[in-house]
Amino acid sequence: MILLDGKTTAAAIRAEVRDEVARQKAMRGRAPGLAVVLVGQDPASEVYVRNKVKACEETGIVSRKLTPPENIKQVDLEALILELNADPDIDGILVQLPLPLGLESQSILDLIDPCKDVDGFHPVNIGRLAAGLPGLRPCTPAGCIELLKRHNLPTRGKRAVVVGRSNIVGKPLAMMLMQSGEYADATVTVCHSRTADLAAEVRRADFVFAAIGKPRFITAEMVKDGAVVVDVGINRTESGLQGDCDFEGLWGKVAAITPVPGGVGPMTIAMLMQNTLAAFKAHLEM
Ligand code: NDP
């Protein structure tokens, strides 16, 4: 049994980023800059942003937190993004989602310069991913793959099931697993709320990726012996944070599994640091 420990793995990645940031800063005279835009005061978003800013401090990336009020007008938020696009000290722009009611997020995301789109949500970057071209990849799916890589669990030739088809997790994760490479090259099935027999689909998989948003939804009966389970879910319940998988039920039955918390969550932030460093290098070479 392998515990896919995202906390330790992410710490190792942050240390690598920190060393490279220090090297780049000595060479180029400045560190990468990340703008984090947090509109309004959603408590969960505040926690995520705090963790991202903390990771920047640890890696030497300069973070700039912008906190426009909840009632900011769409046009003013758009103007802010355009300003950040033009700012030579900013290499990455992240708009924390969800935006408050009344603001239209897709048109905001569409405005971010694709070269500064460190969340990898811009249609250009999604398109590049679909086409197998290099580009900034969405952090959560990239974190899932990186976690497998760092535990030597290649997906090549294996059956992978992704439960969830959101634009930020399920869909890009499925696309990554379809690319060529040792940690891709999977035979991918994508499931969602309209899947006819979800348990049967999941039971066939060597690799199960759960991105559903329902606590303990994937149970031991649904997973085959020796599978690898990557749980993306973060659900706030009365008994604390829970994943989409029944960790206790699966432990002992599967070959490897991520805990929640301490699995994919910290990996997502580590990938954001990697993306910001990559965007910085590309920016300086332009
Ligand atoms: P969404 O709500 O956008 O998508 C959920 C997906 O699950 C949808 O495709 C939905 O299907 C599917 N689904 C819902 N119910 C069922 C069901 N009964 N059977 C099969 N499929 C179902 O969520 P996200 O993708 O944004 O997030 C998923 C989870 O991951 C959440 O818990 C979220 O908090 C967490 N998360 C964690 C991150 C991290 O860093 N660890 C980052 C981002 C998210 P349909 O499309 O048909 O509605």
Q: Read off the DSSP letter of residue 173.
A: H
Q: Scanning the structure block, which residue is given the tokens 């995520």?
A: 48
Distance, CA of 179 to CA of 26 (rounded, Å)? 36
Q: Is the CB of 191 under 6 A from ligand 1?
A: yes
In one-letter notation, the amino acid at residue 123 is P
59: pLDDT strictly greater than 90: yes
Distance, CA of 66 to CA of 94 (rounded, Å)? 10
CATH number for the domain whose boundaries are 139-265: 3.40.50.720
Six token digits for residue 9: 């793995």
Tens digits of residue pLDDT in 6-33: 999 999 999 999 999 999 999 999 999 9
Q: Is the CB of 129 under 6 A from ligand 1?
A: no
Cis before 100? omega within 30: no
pLDDT class of 51 with cuts at 50, 70, 90: very high
Tens digits of residue pLDDT in 79-117: 999 999 999 999 999 999 999 999 999 999 999 999 999
Residues 61 and 273: beta-carbon distance below 8 Å: yes
Tell me if 64 is assigned to a ligand binding site: no
Edge-first strand order for the sheet with 228-231 is: 2-3, 256-257, 228-231, 207-210, 159-163, 187-191
Q: Read off the DSSP letter of residue 207.
A: E
- DSSP-assigned letters across all residues of 8-33: HHHHHHHHHHHHHHHHHHHHHSS--E
40: pLDDT strictly greater than 80: yes
**Domain spans, the chain:** 28-113, 139-265
Q: What percent of the chain has pLDDT over 70?
A: 100
Q: What is the pLDDT of residue 237?
A: 94
Instruction: Provide mean pLDDT across the span 135-157.
Output: 98
Atom of ligand 1 nearest to the CA of 170: 25
* Rounded (10°) angle between helices 43-59 and 6-28: 50
pLDDT class of 54 with cuts at 50, 70, 90: very high
Atom of ligand 1 nearest to the CA of 235: 32
Q: Is 28-113's fold the same as 139-265's?
A: yes
pLDDT class of 285 with cuts at 50, 70, 90: confident
Q: Is the dihedral of CA 220, 222, 227, 228 positive or negative?
A: negative
Cα separations in angstroms, 2 against 32, 49, 88, 251, 259: 35, 30, 44, 9, 11
Q: Is the CB of 198 under 6 A from ligand 1?
A: yes
Rounded to the nearest angstrom, the distance between the alpha carbon of 211 and the centre of ligand 1 is: 4
- Which of 232, 237, 264 has most ligand 1 atoms within 8 Å of CB, for mutation? 232
66, β-bridge pairs? 37
Q: What is the pLDDT of residue 286?
A: 77
Tell me which residue has its CA closest to atom 41 in ligand 1: 265
CATH class, domain 28-113, is alpha beta
| Residue 242 phi, psi (nearest 5) | -135, 150
Q: Scanning the structure block, which residue is given the tokens 């048109």?
A: 107
Instruction: Provide mean pLDDT across the span 160-174.
Output: 98
Q: Is the CB of 234 under 6 A from ligand 1?
A: yes
